[in-house]
Amino acid sequence: MLEKLLHHKLLTEGEQGQGVVTEKHVSASESSSNSFSFRIVLHGHMTFPDGTRTEFKSDWLSTHNVGDPEEGAIVPVRYDPSDHSKVVLDVVAMEAKHKAEREKDQAWLEDDKKRRIADADAEAARRNASPNPPPNSGLS
């Protein structure tokens, strides 16, 4: 219980920093009607300017929410500036970044779909303006 309180306090009051993922393990898979994701465990460390290094570990993260960081990925962390032994993965920041990336990807897909439809409309209009159907049009 005390560990959860410390974790929450670091996430809300801790200083922001950058850590490095050193290990990733898939612990389970999950699916819903419109998505499939994995539950992962991430191990990593943060190296402070004075050269000290502190390890962190986060369990039961959903790739649907935080993405799928690999070993060597730089990830946001929160730490206690008065006690460098206290470092946690900034899951809130990871979730926000992943959500923004998903929204950007979705917007690109929507724009691409609109472009393809507009291109097809223009091509269909061009073909419809032609007095004779093009060869191999599939019409008999």
pLDDT tens, 16-35?
999 999 999 998 888 777 77
- pLDDT above 60 (res 138): no
Structure tokens, 6: 């410390």
* H runs (alpha helix) in the chain: 2-13, 63-66, 91-129
Residue 107 CA to residue 98 CA, distance in Å, equals: 14
Residue 140 has pLDDT above 60, yes or no: no
Report yes or no: 42 and 21 within 8 Å, Cβ to Cβ. yes
Tens digit of pLDDT for each residue in 82-133?
999 999 999 999 999 999 998 999 999 999 999 999 999 999 999 999 777 6
Residue 19 lies in a domain: yes
Give me the pLDDT at residue 50, please. Answer: 94
Structure tokens at 44: 């990593």
Name the residue range of residue 58's domain.
Answer: 2-99
Which residues, listed in sequence order, are joined to residue 43 by a DSSP beta bridge? 23, 57
The 10s digit of each residue's pLDDT in 45-82 is 999 999 999 999 999 899 989 999 999 999 999 999 99
- Per the structure, the count of domains in the chain is 1
Say how many residues make up the chain.
140
pTM for the predicted model, two decimal places: 0.75
